[in-house]
C-alpha cells in the first residue's frame, strides 16, 4: 500500500529556526530496487504460465489429475443395477371404514389371522346417538302408519253402515212408490201423491250412488296416504339398517386370511374414515419384486426382460406408466416361485436387469471424458480422435469404431478442447 505524502508548510522568517546546526540534506532515493522487483515478478508469471501451457494449452489453469483407461475386448453386458423390494402378490389394504376412537386392539402386527377374525373395535358416541335417533324416527313413522290404518278401518266401518242405511232407504222408497202407483192406478190417490213418492224414490237412489262414489274416492286417498307412509317407513328402516351395519363395522374384521403387516394401532387413538392402518398379506399368493427405475429407461422396459438376483432369475411382467419423482415402477416375478420361499415381504433385493443378451465387444470404463470426441494417449501427448460409441451400462461404454484394444483413453474431464495436449 502506498502511503499519502505529507505536505510541510514553511514558518515565518521571524520565528523560523535556521536549522543550520542540526539539519542536512537527505540523499536522493534510487528507483533501481523497484524496477528489479517488477522484472522478477514478470519472469515468475511467464515461467509459471509456460509450465502450465505444457499440459493445458491455451485454456485457463485448472488443477486436474488425468485418469486413463485401456480399451478392452470382452463380454459387454447391457444391464442396469437395481434395488428392489419384495412384496406379496396378493394383499389387502386395511383402511378404516368408520371414524371413532380405538376402544380395543384385538390383533398384533405380524400375527397370522383367519378371514373374519376381529382386528380392532372403535367407540363412536355420535354413531350411537344417530342410531338411536333414527330408530326413534322409524318407530314414530310406524306409529303414524298404524294410526292411519286404524282411522281408515273406522272410516270404512262407518261408510259401510251409512251405505246399508241408504240402501235400506232406497228399498223403502221403492216399495212406497210401488204401493202408491197401485193405489193411483185404482183411483184411490191423486197423481200428485204418486209423483211425490217417485221423487222420494229417485232421491234415495241418488244419495246411495253419491255415497258410494264419495267413499270410493276417500278410500283411494287413504290408501295412497298409507302407501306413502309405508314407503317412508321402508326408507327409514333402510337407513336404520345402514346405521346398524356401520355400527357393526366399528368392529373391524380381517377381510382375508393372512399375515398382518404394518399394523401399529394403539388403544385411545382417533381414527378417521380412509386412514391406512396396515395390510394383510396372503402367504399362499406368492411374492414379487417392485423396483423403481429412472424414467430414462422407460422406452426400453418391456415384459419378458430377465433380471438376475442372488435368489434366482426373475422376469419383468409389468411396468406402471405413471412417472413419480422421475421414477417408474416395474413389477418382476420369479421364474421359479420356490426360489423366494425364504424371503419375507419388505426385504430389499439387489437386481441386474438385462436389456439385451451379453455380447463380445470393445469397451472401456465410463467417465466425463468418454464422448464422441475423446483423447487417446501416445507417449507424453494426447491426441483428439473421433470415435463411435454404443450403449452405456454397468459403468462401461461400448466402443463401436475409432479405437483398438489396448488404446489408452483419457476418461477424466479434459482441461481444454485443443486437438493436442501435452502431459505434465
Q: Domain containing 418 — which CATH number?
A: 2.40.420
Regarding whether 223 and 146 lie in a shared domain, the answer is yes
* Alpha carbon distance, N-terminus to C-terminus of the chain: 37
Q: Give residue 409's pLDDT band: very low, low, confident or very high (50, 70, 90).
A: very high
DSSP string, 219-247: HHHHHHHHHHHHHHHHHHHHHHHHHHHHH
Report yes or no on 60 lying in a domain: no
Within-domain flag for 14: no
Same domain? 212 vs 227: yes
Residue 55 has a pLDDT of 41
Angstrom CA distances, 128 to 70, 125, 352, stand at 79, 5, 56
Q: Are residues 140 and 245 in the same domain?
A: yes
Cα-based angle 149, 154, 160 (whole degrees, multiple of 5) = 125
For residues 210 and 225, state if they share a domain: yes
| DSSP calls for 303-335 | TT-EEE-TT--EEEEEEEEEEETTEEEEEEEES
What are 366-398's pLDDT values in tens digits? 888 888 889 999 988 999 999 999 888 878 898
| Residue 169 CB contacts under 8 Å (≥ 6 apart), including other chains | 204, 207, 208
Q: Are 225 and 231 in contact (CB under 8 A)?
A: no
Residues 138 and 183 in one domain: yes
Over residues 212-222, mean pLDDT: 86
Please tell me which of 137-141, 341-345, 360-364 the model is most confident about, judged by mean pLDDT: 360-364
Q: Does 61 map to a domain?
A: no
Rounded Cα–Cα distance for residues 355 and 293 (Å): 13
Q: Give the pLDDT score at 264.
A: 87
Q: At what angle do helices 125-186 and 191-249 cross, to 10 degrees?
A: 170
Residue 31 maps to a domain: no
Residues 175 and 222 in one domain: yes
Same domain, 265 and 243: no
Q: Beta 314-324 vs 327-334: how paired, if at all?
A: antiparallel
pTM of structure: 0.49
Residue 214 resides in a domain: yes
φ, ψ dihedrals at 112, nearest 5°: -95, 125
209, containing H or E segment: helix 191-249
Give dist(CA 175, CA 197) in Å, integer.
10
Does residue 365 share a domain with residue 350?
A: no
The reported pLDDT for the residue numbered 122 is: 86
d(CA 50, CA 62): 14
106 located within any domain:
yes
Pick the closest to residue 153 from 207, 213, 218 (CA basis).
218
40 in Cβ contact with 48 (< 8 Å)? no
Cβ–Cβ under 8 Å, residues 362 and 98: no
CATH number at residue 326: 2.40.30.170
Q: Phi and psi at residue 342, in whole multiples of 5°?
A: -90, -5
In a domain, 4, yes or no: no
- Please check whether residue 267 lies inside any domain of the structure: yes
Tens digits of residue pLDDT in 85-105 = 988 888 888 888 888 888 899
Q: In what order do the strands lie in the sheet with 68-70?
A: 68-70, 408-410, 373-378, 381-386, 420-422
Domain match, 152 and 223 both: yes
173 shares its domain with 214: yes
Which range marks the domain in which residue 399 is found?
68-76+359-422
CA-nearest of 310, 316, 308 to 343 is 310
Q: What are the pLDDT digits (tens) for 237-293?
A: 888 887 777 777 788 888 888 888 888 888 988 888 888 888 888 877 788 899 999
Same domain, 220 and 147: yes
Q: Is the pLDDT of residue 296 over 80?
A: yes
Q: Which of 73-87, 100-114, 172-186, 235-249 has the lowest mean pLDDT?
A: 235-249
DSSP annotation of 6: P
Residues 342 and 373 in one domain: no
The domain tally of the chain equals: 4
Amino acid at each position: 500500500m502506498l502511503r499519502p505524502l505529507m505536505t510541510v508548510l514553511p514558518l515565518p522568517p521571524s520565528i523560523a529556526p535556521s536549522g543550520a546546526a542540526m539539519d542536512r540534506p537527505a540523499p536522493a532515493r534510487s528507483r533501481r530496487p523497484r524496477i528489479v522487483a517488477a522484472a522478477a515478478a514478470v519472469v515468475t508469471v511467464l515461467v509459471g504460465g509456460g509450465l502450465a501451457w505444457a499440459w493445458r494449452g491455451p485454456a485457463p489453469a485448472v488443477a486436474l489429475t488425468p485418469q486413463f483407461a485401456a480399451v478392452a475386448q470382452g463380454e459387454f453386458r447391457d444391464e442396469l443395477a437395481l434395488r428392489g423390494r419384495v412384496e406379496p402378490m396378493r394383499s389387502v389394504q386395511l383402511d378404516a371404514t368408520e371414524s371413532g376412537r380405538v376402544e380395543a386392539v384385538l390383533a398384533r402386527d405380524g400375527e397370522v389371522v383367519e378371514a373374519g377374525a376381529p382386528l380392532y373395535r372403535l367407540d363412536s358416541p355420535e354413531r350411537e346417538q344417530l342410531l338411536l335417533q333414527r330408530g326413534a324416527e322409524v318407530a314414530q313413522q310406524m306409529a303414524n302408519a298404524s294410526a292411519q290404518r286404524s282411522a281408515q278401518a273406522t272410516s270404512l266401518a262407518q261408510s259401510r253402515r251409512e251405505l246399508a242405511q241408504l240402501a235400506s232407504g232406497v228399498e223403502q222408497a221403492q216399495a212406497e212408490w210401488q204401493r202408491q202407483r197401485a193405489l193411483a192406478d185404482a183411483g184411490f190417490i191423486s197423481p200428485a201423491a204418486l209423483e211425490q213418492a217417485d221423487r222420494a224414490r229417485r232421491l234415495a237412489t241418488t244419495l246411495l250412488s253419491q255415497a258410494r262414489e264419495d267413499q270410493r274416492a276417500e278410500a283411494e286417498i287413504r290408501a295412497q296416504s298409507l302407501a306413502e307412509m309405508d314407503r317412508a317407513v321402508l326408507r327409514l328402516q333402510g337407513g336404520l339398517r345402514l346405521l346398524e351395519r356401520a355400527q357393526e363395522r366399528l368392529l373391524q374384521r380381517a377381510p382375508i386370511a393372512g399375515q398382518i403387516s404394518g399394523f401399529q394401532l394403539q388403544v385411545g387413538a382417533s381414527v378417521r374414515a380412509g386412514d391406512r392402518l396396515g395390510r394383510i398379506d396372503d402367504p399362499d399368493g406368492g411374492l414379487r419384486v417392485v423396483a423403481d427405475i429412472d424414467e430414462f429407461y422407460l422406452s426400453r422396459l418391456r415384459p419378458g426382460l430377465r433380471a438376475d438376483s442372488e435368489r434366482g432369475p426373475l422376469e419383468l411382467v409389468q411396468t406402471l406408466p405413471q412417472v413419480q419423482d422421475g421414477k417408474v415402477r416395474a413389477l418382476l416375478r420369479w421364474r421359479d416361485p420356490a426360489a423366494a420361499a425364504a424371503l419375507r415381504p419388505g426385504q430389499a433385493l439387489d437386481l441386474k436387469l438385462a436389456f439385451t443378451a451379453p455380447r463380445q465387444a470393445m469397451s472401456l470404463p465410463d467417465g466425463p471424458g468418454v464422448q464422441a470426441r475423446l483423447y487417446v494417449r501416445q507417449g507424453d501427448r494426447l491426441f483428439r480422435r473421433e470415435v463411435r460409441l454404443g450403449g452405456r451400462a454397468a459403468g462401461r461404454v461400448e466402443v463401436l469404431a475409432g479405437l483398438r484394444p489396448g488404446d489408452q483413453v483419457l476418461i477424466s474431464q479434459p482441461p481444454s478442447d485443443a486437438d493436442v495436449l501435452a502431459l505434465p
